[in-house]
Chains A and B, each alone.
Chain A
Amino acid sequence: MSRAQRIAFGVMLAFFLLAPLVLYPVFLMKVMCFALFACAFNLLIGFGGLLSFGHAMFLGTAGYVSAHAAKVWGCPPELAILLGTLSAAALGLVTGLLAIRRQGIYFAMITLALSQMIYFYCLQAPFTHGEDGIQSVPRGTLFGFIDLSNIWAMYATVLVVFVAGFLLIYRAIHSPFGQVLKSIRENEARAISLGYDTTRYKFLAFVLSAALAGLAGATKAIVFQLASLTDVHWTMSGEVVLITLLGGMGTIFGPVAGALVIITMENYLAQLGAWVTVAQGVIFVICVLAFRRGIVGEIAHFLKKPL
């Protein structure tokens, strides 16, 4: 990490360590779950140039699987989260093979359509309990000795999952794999002419992104003890696009900043009903027209350092 990035990472870590002293921990856990979700999404759009409009399917599917595993099969939380993550990776494997065949806006439309298919499946499948969702999922005992019904134990677990996921993404972006991915975003034809099998790289990035989105979804289901249709709906796919766009596409810390802003806004505007949707739409329009670098992108541009 460069110096600026180390400082930013320190600020982020300090924020999530100290904030629960003044802010509601459950709210912060929600922010971290969405931040990880958006970081996973950003890996695709920000570094691979692939706009997925169906990332909710990974978040939601992993949530259902981990909730089902914890509640019906009685799995401990670590196993439930692992199963959820694996299910999202498997789904990413199948949908990735199809979606990667087209590019640009087709890719966005295909992922959107596939996630709508998953939504209808979740609406009808018996194990998801339709409109009710899977409720009162037990948090259980992590590794057999950490009782997650304790809010601080849960908080620490989510923090560890989030930071681990974040660092994994950071590592992936700065590995040779990530560099090739960036070259594909910049000029795919040239990357092909240099001998890179670009389809394979894009496919790998897609599966990795799906798995990490699944990790966020599985953790979220355990934290909120709930898996519901909201998480597979297309509005959720739109929300993660918004979070990433507002925070700064292609920046490392952008999705985290975006998640903090958007989740805070939703929390305070929740009682205003559909105005939340209007506000999200307005932010979309403003970001696209006048604020394409996003929050962190603007800061990085001002400091002339990548963040």
Chain B
Amino acid sequence: MTEIFGIPTQALFGQLLIGLINGSFYALLSLGLAVIFGLLNIINFTHGAQYMLGAFCAYLLLNKTGVGYWWSLLLAPLIVGALGMLIERLMLKRLYKLDHLYGLLLTFGLALVIQGVFRNEYGTSGQPYAMPAELAGGRNLGFMFLPNYRAWVIATSVAVCLGTWFVIEKTKLGSYLRAATENPALVQAFGINVPRMITLTYGFGAALAAFAGVMAAPIYQVNPQMGADLIIVVFAVVVIGGMGSIMGSIVTGFSLGIIEGLTKVFYPEASNTVIFVIMAIVLAVRPAGLFGAQK
């Protein structure tokens, strides 16, 4: 068997693949956080719970109504996105005039409620979710075995991330959004309905989290706690990247996933903490984050 630095290539590429998969989820989630933060100025602590809700939507759709993976990929984000818009309309909207910390506290409370309800119903053990038959199996690339589903997850999240980046940076709708981030009052004066834009943005961010959740369901099991620990890592990713740029959060998400995967190969004890260590180093050297605007 071939080896690199004394590590069998099979193991190396295997971990690299897991890293890329994790990186896909970091990128999708931190992208959603960045989009929401840009317009609403709040950090959406419910993001992890919305990711979990997406996975549970897929699970319930399959087991209660027999709706399969592909429809879930469309329906779950719509359901969770609608729920998100409801949250924004009923609760978050009342907090915009206050300190931004209240938004964080409110979404943290909501996350506790959602996770608690699901933990009551399903316990802490994971529920299996079968991967779609079309994507079962895999192919041998010569140096490693690539399961089809994993290739699909990586390709789709890259596509969704780039699509989001394109819409925000290159389209007219995106330019309204960026203008409203800079100066909502002025944009409203031009006759654009900013409150509705805010609601839709929050719904979109929540839908993005749910989309990631559906894709994660066949890989990790569907578990009420699946979003809670993930969201903390995503926060660290966001601090490292800085929330100033959309592309920044995508690149940071994928790179940190890969770094985490490599750490698992070379120094497994640190694989849980490596992202936090990187965050500490970045804070010491460049406090605004790698892609953040230096004040």
Asked if B102 lies at the interface with its beta carbon under 8 angstroms from chain A, I say yes
- Given A98-B283, A121-B273, A124-B269; A278-B102 close (CB under 8 Å): no
Q: Which chain B residues numbered 101 to 144 have a C-beta less than 8 Å away from chain A?
A: 101-102, 104-106, 108-117, 119-120
B104 touches A234 (CB 8 A): no
CB within 8 A of A278: which of B94, B120, B235, B269?
A: B120
Q: Which among B91, B100, B116 has the greatest number of chain A C-beta atoms within 10 A?
A: B116
A112 touches B105 (CB 8 A): no
CB within 8 A of A109: which of B43, B111, B115?
A: B43
Asked if A241 lies at the interface with its beta carbon under 8 angstroms from chain B, I say yes
B120 touches A98 (CB 8 A): no
CB neighbours (8 Å) of A275 from chain B are: 116, 120
Interface string of B76-106 (1 = CB under 8 A from A): 0000000000000001001100101110111
A104 touches B101 (CB 8 A): yes
- Given A105-B101, A241-B105, A273-B120; A113-B110 close (CB under 8 Å): no
CB within 8 A of A274: which of B43, B119, B272, B276?
A: B119
Asked if A51 lies at the interface with its beta carbon under 8 angstroms from chain B, I say yes
A285 touches B91 (CB 8 A): yes
CB neighbours (8 Å) of A110 from chain B are: 239, 279, 283
CB neighbours (8 Å) of B116 from chain A are: 274-278, 280-281
Q: Quick one: closest B residue to A54, CB to CB? A: B232
Asked if B215 lies at the interface with its beta carbon under 8 angstroms from chain A, I say no
Q: Quick one: closest B residue to A121, CB to CB? A: B273
Interface of B is mostly: helix
B120 touches A234 (CB 8 A): no
Q: How far is the CA of A287 from the CA of B109 in the complex (A)?
A: 10
Q: How far is the CA of A305 from the CA of B232 in the complex (A)?
A: 40
How many B residues are at the interface, by size bracket?
35 or more
CB neighbours (8 Å) of B277 from chain A are: 117
Per the CB 8 Å criterion, the residue count for chain A at the interface is 41
CB within 8 A of B43: which of A108, A120, A124, A280?
A: A108
Interface string of B37-48 (1 = CB under 8 A from A): 000001100000
Asked if B287 lies at the interface with its beta carbon under 8 angstroms from chain A, I say yes
B113 touches A281 (CB 8 A): yes
A277 touches B115 (CB 8 A): yes
- Given A98-B280, A274-B116; A120-B239 close (CB under 8 Å): no
12 A-B pairs with CB atoms under 8 Å apart are: A98-B284, A105-B100, A105-B101, A109-B238, A110-B283, A117-B273, A124-B269, A275-B120, A276-B116, A283-B109, A284-B109, A292-B98
Which 3 interchain pairs have the tightest Cβ spacing?
Answer: A284-B109, A281-B112, A277-B116
A-side interface residues toward B, CB under 8 Å? 51, 53, 98-99, 101-102, 104-106, 108-110, 112-114, 116-117, 120-121, 123-124, 234, 238, 241, 245, 273-278, 280-285, 287-289, 292
> Beyond the given A241-B108, A288-B109, could you list 14 further A-B residue pairs with CB under 8 A, ordered by the A residue number?
A51-B101, A98-B284, A105-B42, A108-B101, A114-B276, A116-B276, A120-B273, A234-B232, A278-B112, A285-B106, A288-B95, A288-B102, A289-B91, A289-B94
